[in-house]
Structure 1
Amino acid sequence: MGLQWMLLTCVVGAEAAVAALLTLPAPRAVRAQIVGLTSMLLQPFAAVLPFAAFQLLDIYWKNEHRLICTGEMCTSEERVRFEKSIFKSQRNVILCVSVFILYWSIYRICKFNKDIKALEEVEKRIKDE
């Protein structure tokens, strides 16, 4: 079970690094190369989105079927274990949601850069005429 969360953690880290790289100021030629490479890699990296969605569904199902430890019947050890599992679930939900948000952000940044490049080409063509 820990391997899948480690995989999502690595994906979130990689997406955050790519988003930071895309937003740093760079010369136009370098930025065009970074955006082109990132755009090519976006489609294969979209495979992580269904995986994160499945993990969210798994967390939801486990939350709905979790034994609730409230009242005087629970020992302090059981209550601590219950609260620890709640905190892990919340952390994992944040991890899954951040996969979607970072992927969408990278997609939009690449799209904006491509649109800006297309508008610059149109402006250059109009000036040449």
Structure 2
Amino acid sequence: MALQWLILEYVVATEAAITLLLTLPWPKPIKLQVVTLTSNLLQPLASVIPFAVFNLLDLQWKNEHRLMCSSDLCTEEERIRYEKSIYKAQRNVILCVSVCLLYWCLQRICKYNKQIKELEEVEKRAKDL
């Protein structure tokens, strides 16, 4: 169970690092190489999105079927365990949402860089005429 969250944590860290690399002001040849490499990685990385959505649905189902511990009949230990599970679930929801959001950001940044490259080529051809 913890392995899936560890995988998502690593994916979020990797996506954040790649996003940071893409937004740094590199020289044009290096930036084009980074954008090309990232664009090639986006296709296999897309498999993380259904994984994150599945985990979100799993969290929702567990939330609906979780035993409530809000009455005075619960012991202090049960209440602490209940609150810990709530905090973990909230953390995992943030993790799943950030995987999807960072993937979208990576995709948009790559698309914008490709559009800029195409516009620069069009401008260069227009100047040559």
Taking the aligned partners of 1:41 and 1:72, their CA distance within structure 2 comes to 53
Runs (5+) with no aligned partner, structure 2: none
Taking the aligned partners of 1:72 and 1:38, their CA distance within structure 2 comes to 54
Runs of 4+ in 1 over 2 A off after TM superposition: none
Identity, in percent, stands at: 64
TM-score (norm 2): 0.99
Runs (5+) with no aligned partner, structure 1: none
C-alpha root-mean-square deviation of aligned residues, in Å?
Answer: 0.4
Residue 36 of structure 2 corresponds to which residue in structure 1? 36
Residue 114 of structure 1 corresponds to which residue in structure 2? 114
Residue 3 of structure 1 corresponds to which residue in structure 2? 3
Deviation at 1:66, TM superposition (A): 0.2
Taking the aligned partners of 1:79 and 1:94, their CA distance within structure 2 comes to 23
Q: How many residues align?
A: 129
Deviation at 1:116, TM superposition (A): 0.2
TM-score (norm 1): 0.99
How do residues 61-80 of structure 1 correspond to structure 2 at under 5 angstroms? 61-80=61-80
Residue 55 of structure 1 corresponds to which residue in structure 2? 55
